[in-house]
Structure 1
Amino acid sequence: MNAPASNPASRAGYPGLVLAMLLLVYTFNFLDRQILGILAKPIMEDLQLTRTEFGAIGGLAFAVLYSVLGVPLAYLADRTSRSGVIAGALAVWSLFTGLCGVATGYWQLFLFRLGVGVGEAGGVAPSYAVIADYFPPEKRARALAIYSLGIPIGLALGTLLGAYIAALVNWRAAFITMGVIGILIAPIFRWVVRDVPRPVVAKGDAAPVSAVFGILARKPGFWLLAFGASCSSLCGYGLALWTPLVLMGNFGFDLVTTGQFMASLLLIGGTAGVFAGGWFADRLGKGDRAWYAWLPAIAWLITAPLFAVGFLTSNPWIAWPLLVIPNGLNILWLGPVTTAVQHMVPQHMRATASGSFLMINNLIGMGLGPLLMGFLGEALKASYGAEALRYGAVFCLGFYVLAGILALFAAKHVRSGWVEQTA
């Protein structure tokens, strides 16, 4: 491993710089995902895609290799350089994002999105581990929450920039522009971010993946949180892809207005929700580790009815406040849950444990969510006509309720399975 001789985490201000760079990369991670959703209408019209086909491109194509490769790439990061793996991942997914802009048909776009998933598979789990290396346990949920701000910021920017670039040029230019910028950032990230020296076992002989699986398999808290987060992500990724079309159908918005409306929801609601999750988890979790599960459970149970009412109203001025709250609550879980997963294994297994969690979360959430909502948007046409996609989204909100129930059951197991760590 190419780690410096001294611990860079002890340098004044450097952990904050590392977190800022990780946040920048994570922003592009979700920007490159969300840009597909806001461009759904022009892409579907240009390439003559059905909703089911577009749902497969937006979810299944991305999720298959993204989920499967997450664990081996996280294991590689544990054995070698975490920052190096992240930089390489950024370069790869940015390249394929740019290539999406030259796709001429369904299968070509499907394969390019598959490539985006391959690259992004190496980004998140090593980043979780880098944050755990740089921040002590009492500050870790907040640090992970700040990192997770990349989700609402990336989603909002992807929505807004995608809409404006497509309106000014075309949808292809939006993909190409984002891809080029990401490729330019990759070497800067590699130069700035340094790995923290890890225990000898992690440098040359990291624990085998089977050993990490063995620890996690015996912890019910891990499985309940993983499947709870997966149910939430099924809704979240589905809504991220299809909400632009729902808004256009509900309110008659054009592309730019849709981008502005949705970006405001994602940025305001999302940033507040992510930061609140980390802040409350760090404070409440000191007294009882079960709060790392109770917080997301409460948020998910409130999210479902608010989204439902917001989607069913026909007035955008009423819909906005109803939708901005669940856009924060539905991702409040990121800080608490990812922190809990970090504390279920020893330090040198963190990236692999996170990769295991992400594999489950993304296979179910990302793989099924966009596809299921797209399928329902087609299947419900006979009953709901032009409003089929809106009602398909509402029906899927039941998964938020299931997520909340699973997290409630996980609370006591999180408390008993917590591994106290000093680094």
Structure 2
Amino acid sequence: MVAIPLDYVSPRSKYALVLLTLIYMNSHWSRYLLNYLYAVSSDDPDKSLAAGTGITTSEYGLLAGFGFGVTYVTFGMVMGRAADLYNRCHIIVAGLVIWSAANVLCGAASDFKWLLASRVLLGFGESFSGPASYSLLADFFPPSRRAEANGVYAVGMYMGASMGSFSLSIAMAVGWRNVCYGCAASGLVLAMLLLMSVREPQRVKKLADAACGAPVASPPLPPPLPQLKLTLPQALRAVLSRRLVLAIIAAAMVRYMAGYTIGTFMPVFYGARFPDDADVYSYLNASIIAIGGAVSAYVGGRTADRWAAAGQRRAYLLIPGAGAAAAVPLLAAALYAPSFGLSMAALFAEYLCAEVWSGPAVSALQGALPPGARGTGMGVFALGTGLAGSAAAWAVGAAAQRGSGGSDALRGAVAGGAGAAYALCAALFFGAAMLVRPRKQGYEEIV
């Protein structure tokens, strides 16, 4: 028999990646629905969420940030631990059902209180998905293919945000409540598909030994070593005692501050700055997010894997740092461009540079974590990034409201908040790369 290479990826693993990516897309569509439905420029309560519920700008900031983030980050730690111990596919299915129910509740909401309840429930449901999905990908794919797989998975984030942008136009046609119900229905379909078609992979100590579900090779591979089950204190100690893990999480927290700020306030900024281009913005922004974000995420992950295979394991951290640094002037160009067309062109370039980070950074984090604590580590990651992003959204909203309240005040708050976050993020990723020290064979910190 022909020996199977250790970077082999089975069709089952590829199918699981596609389905998990679609679930991630639905998750981010659900998360960003509020942002875009609130930005609908209409006084019709059937088309505009703002008109239909009467929420204020400050209430919107609370709903977009802490309304979702508190339960998301709180239960993210719990679900991270659950991903180390229980069936991860079942955890994701349960989360999908819960956040689909939250979308139904959002569609039925009549005021701030019901919207807040839907956002709290949405954060609870979505906390089930992230740690379990990243843990599954680490078992489905070998280390040499993980950054590419994480890059493909990150495409779901941008496709979901793109669907959120499309929701502006869809709401004008069918009403904002029906958009919420449609998102919920698609989530339930994905839950059924995952439950019926993806089997929980065997957890192993060294993924290469399992060859990612490969058929038996000749000579036969040794049986996979069972993963050691750590207690919660042991898992937390394993996560928090690694300097590289903490450095990556710190850089990602600052990166999420930029991402939350842009995702929450750019739709509002464009609605105020270029009100005559609202319909064009809906489609163009969706295309920018879907194409720019998806291409950047995939190329970032694939490039990191190639560069690492050539001997530069710091690639997983250097690429995110370079992308964040390049995003600083491009974001400023998008915010201060004199015309709508130039602004959108700069925004597209910003997405192409900034979004290379996710696949390589998550791959570096997966490699730096011990297998028995990956779910817990991703839970800490979700906790830190969610809190940082929510705090940034609240702070930028408060800063904009203290100003004139118009597009100029919002532009200054976004430029200062997101721009500074990008710059600090670049410095932190470059600093984290210095913790990866070369040895005669491999690198000390990333396995």
Same fold (TM over 0.5): yes
Question: What amino acid is the match of 1:263?
Answer: A
TM-fit CA distance, 1:202 = 11
Q: Who is 2:288 aligned against? A: 265
| CA drift at 1:386 | 4.3
Do structure 1's residue 249 and structure 2's residue 272 form an aligned pair?
A: yes
* 1:43 CA displacement: 2.5
Per the alignment, do residues 164 and 411 of structure 1 end up closer, same or farther by CA in structure 2, a change over 3 Å counting?
A: same
Aligned residue identity for 2:22: L
Structure 2 Cα separation of the partners of residues 11 and 276 of structure 1: 19
Residue 399 of structure 1 is matched in structure 2 by 421
Change over 3 Å in CA distance of 1:25–1:261 after alignment to 2? same
What does the per-residue CA deviation read over 1:376-418, in whole Å, with 9 as the maximum and x for residues that have no partner? Answer: 2211117xx4422222211112111011111111112244653
Structure 2 contact 228–372 (Cα < 8 Å) conserved: no
Tell me if structure 1 keeps the 8 A contact 2:297–2:357.
Answer: yes
The whole-number CA distance in structure 1 between the counterparts of 2:227 and 2:151 is: 31
**Structure 2 counterpart of 1:166, one-letter code:** A
Between stretches 344-353 and 355-364, larger displacement belongs to 344-353
Are residues 1:233 and 2:219 paired? no
CA distance 1:215–1:414, change in 2 (3 Å):
farther
Candidates 71, 75, 80, aligned match of 2:81:
75
Deviation at 1:135, TM superposition (A): 0.9
Paired amino acid for 2:427: I
CA contact 2:235–2:372 (8 Å) conserved in 1: no
Shift, 1:257, TM fit: 2.4
Q: Does the 8 Å CA contact 1:251/1:314 hold for their aligned counterparts?
A: no
Superposed displacement of residue 11, structure 1 = 8.7
Please state how far the C-alpha of 1:196 moved relative to its aligned partner. Answer: 1.1
Extract unaligned runs of 5+ from structure 1: 1-8
Q: Tell me the amino acid that sits aligned with residue 175 of structure 1.
A: C
Instruction: State the one-letter code of the partner of 2:175.
Output: N
Relative distance call for 1:348 and 1:316 in structure 2 (3 A) is same
- 1:58-97 matched pairs, under 5 angstroms: 58-97=64-103
Change (3 A) 1:190 1:11: farther
Indicate the residue corresponding to 1:377 in structure 2. Answer: 400
Indicate yes or no: 2:368 matched with 1:341: no
- Range that drifts further, 196-205 or 282-291: 196-205
Whole-angstrom distance in 1 between the partners of 2:281 and 2:312? 42
Shift of 1:92: 0.7
- Measured in 1, the distance between the counterparts of 2:374 and 2:38 equals 36
Q: Counterpart of 1:418 in structure 2: which amino acid?
A: E
1:331 to 355, 361, 369: 355
Supply the distance in 1 between the matched residues of 2:407 and 2:133 (Cα, whole angstroms).
42
Question: What is the distance in 2 between the residues matched to 1:11 and 1:393?
Answer: 42
Aligned to 2:409: 388
Corresponding residue for residue 301 of structure 1: 325
Map 1:7-406 to 2 at 5 A: 12-41=10-39, 42-160=48-166, 162-199=167-204, 206-253=229-276, 255-286=278-309, 287-365=311-389, 367-381=390-404, 385-396=406-417, 397-406=419-428
Contact 1:144 1:278 in 2 (8 A): yes
- State how far apart, in whole Å, the 2-side matches of 1:273 and 1:386 are: 29
Whether the aligned pair in 1 keeps the contact of 2:236 and 2:373 (CA below 8 Å) is no
Q: Which stretch of the first structure deviates more once superposed, 20-29 or 202-211?
A: 202-211
Aligned-residue offset at 1:12: 4.4
> Using the alignment, how far apart are the partners of 1:113 and 1:166 within structure 2?
19
User: Residues of 1 paired with 2:182 and 2:326: CA distance?
Assistant: 38
CA distance in 2, matches of 1:216, 1:11: 28
Which residue matches 1:409? 431
Aligned to 2:440: none
Letter in 2 for 1:38: Y
Moved more, 64-73 or 411-420: 411-420
Structure 2 CA distance for aligned equivalents of residues 202 and 259 of structure 1: 50
Q: 1:285-318 deviations in whole A, cap 9, x for unaligned? A: 2312222111111111111111111111131221
Counterpart amino acid of residue 250 in structure 1: R
TM-score, normalized by length of structure 1?
0.91
Equivalent residue, structure 1, for 2:218: none
Percent sequence identity is: 25
Deviations 1:167-210 (A, max 9, x none): 01221221121112212321221111111112599989721232
Q: What corresponds to 1:5 in structure 2?
A: none
Paired residue total: 408
Greater mean alpha carbon deviation, residues 309-318 or residues 212-221: 212-221
Instruction: Name the one with the larger helix percent.
Output: 1
Alpha-carbon distance between aligned partners in 1 of 2:24 and 2:230, rounded to the nearest angstrom? 27
What is the TM-score of this pair, normalised by structure 2?
A: 0.86
Query: Cα deviations across residues 59-99 of structure 1 (Å, max 9, x unaligned)?
Result: 11111111111121122122110111111111111110121
SS in 2 for 1:381: coil
Q: Are the counterparts in 2 of residues 95 and 183 from structure 1 also a CA contact under 8 Å?
A: no
Return 253-262 or 307-316, whichever deviates more: 253-262
CA distance in 1, matches of 2:9, 2:361: 28
> Following TM superposition, by how much is the alpha carbon of 1:254 offset from its aligned partner in structure 2, in angstroms?
5.4
Q: Partner letter of residue 145 of structure 2?
A: K
Amino acid at match of 2:287: S
Hey, what's the Cα distance between the residues in 2 that align with 1:205 and 1:223?
Answer: 22
Bigger Cα Rg: 2
Counterpart residue type for residue 403 of structure 1: C
| Alpha-carbon separation, structure 2, partners of 1:11 and 1:331 | 25
The CA distance in 2 between the partners of 1:371 and 1:93, in whole Å, is: 23
User: Which stretch has the larger CA shift, 203-212 or 71-80?
Assistant: 203-212
Q: 1:53 to 1:133 in 2, by over 3 A?
A: same
